[in-house]
């Protein structure tokens, strides 16, 4: 069982699918809960975990909810590999929780925004059994040099929706494009969307997410 506290929203019974959605740095599980009705996904359990509080080096050691420590936002900065791998175990435990409730891996999507999206990609691409898909929103691939050797073949054909704002000043579009090109070079099935927005989510993106979930869950 995961040690993470979660907010859970079930759209309608019976539950056939699960979406584990990871928030961004400094937010919490309530951040994306309001968009659930807009996604129009029946028979789905949305799990919004709250990241633990961590001292963030980039923010002068200020404590906030975070999936791992951040030393900076450029590709040249040190990365908190130990923190990422520890959080991967927690997310794997959330997946195991859903399996124990009767949901198969093939009906579980990992989703995340910003730092949460990085963790969703990190975990899903290494997971030993095929998941339904990944939502990678305004985010990037962390530990890029290790992905090729650590990626699990079980999720080689995993559908990935990757979306980014062209005016994002937090995680720049150029940073995201490096990750996009890495994933494409490793032959992942990538659905790419770019929107005229900053580091946020827009209505058009929510529509695209809804279509993606309907497709990977084969909703009727």
Q: What is the pLDDT of residues 117-151, one digit of tens each?
A: 999 999 999 999 999 999 999 999 999 999 999 99
Task: Tell me whether residue 57 is in a domain.
Answer: yes
Question: Is the pLDDT at 74 greater than 80, yes or no?
Answer: no
Residue range 79-108: mean pLDDT, rounded? 97
114 a catalytic residue: yes
Question: Is the pLDDT at 204 greater than 70, yes or no?
Answer: yes
Residue range 99-106: mean pLDDT, rounded? 97
Rounded CA gap, 183 and 7, in Å? 31
Which is catalytic among the residues 31, 69, 80, 168?
168
Nearest C-alpha neighbor of 156 from the set 180, 202, 190, 179: 190
Task: Tell me whether residue 197 is in a domain.
Answer: yes
Rounded CA gap, 97 and 92, in Å? 9
Task: Tell me whether residue 91 is in a domain.
Answer: yes
CATH of the domain at 107: 3.40.50.1820
Q: For the chain, how many structural domains are there in total?
A: 1
23 a catalytic residue: no
127 a catalytic residue: no
10 burial via Cβ count (<10 Å: 0-12, 13-18, 19+): middle
- pLDDT, residue 3, reads 84
Task: Tell me whether residue 1 is in a domain.
Answer: no
Task: Tell me whether residue 153 is in a domain.
Answer: yes
Secondary structure (3-state) at 13: coil
Q: Which domain holds residue 26?
A: 6-216
Rounded CA gap, 149 and 70, in Å? 24
Cβ–Cβ < 8 Å for 186, 179: no
Which is catalytic among the residues 50, 97, 104, 199?
199
Which is catalytic among the residues 18, 114, 138, 179?
114
Nearest C-alpha neighbor of 67 from the set 28, 41, 10, 36: 28
């Amino acid at each position: 069982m995961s040690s993470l506290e979660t907010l859970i929203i079930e759209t309608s019974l019976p539950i056939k699918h699960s979406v584990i959605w990871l928030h961004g740095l400094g937010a919490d599980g309530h951040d994306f809960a309001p968009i659930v009705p807009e996604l129009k996904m029946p028979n789905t359990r949305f799990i919004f975990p709250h990241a633990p509080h961590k001292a963030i080096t980039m923010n002068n050691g200020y404590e906030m909810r975070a999936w791992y420590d951040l030393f900076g936002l450029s590709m040249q900065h040190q990365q908190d590999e130990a923190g990422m791998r520890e959080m991967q175990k927690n997310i794997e435990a959330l997946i195991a929780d859903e399996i124990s409730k009767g949901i198969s891996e093939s009906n579980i999507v990992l989703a995340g925004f910003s730092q949460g999206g990085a963790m969703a990609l990190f975990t899903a691409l290494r997971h030993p059994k095929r998941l339904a898909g990944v939502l990678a929103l305004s985010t990037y691939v962390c530990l890029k040099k290790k992905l090729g050797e650590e990626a699990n073949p079980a999720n080689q054909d995993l559908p990935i929706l990757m979306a980014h704002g062209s005016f994002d000043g937090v995680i720049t579009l150029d940073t995201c494009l490096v990750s996009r090109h890495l994933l494409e070079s490793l032959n992942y099935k990538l659905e790419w969307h770019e929107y005229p927005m900053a580091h946020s989510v827009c209505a058009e993106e929510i529509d695209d997410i809804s279509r993606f979930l309907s497709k990977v869950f084969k909703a009727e």
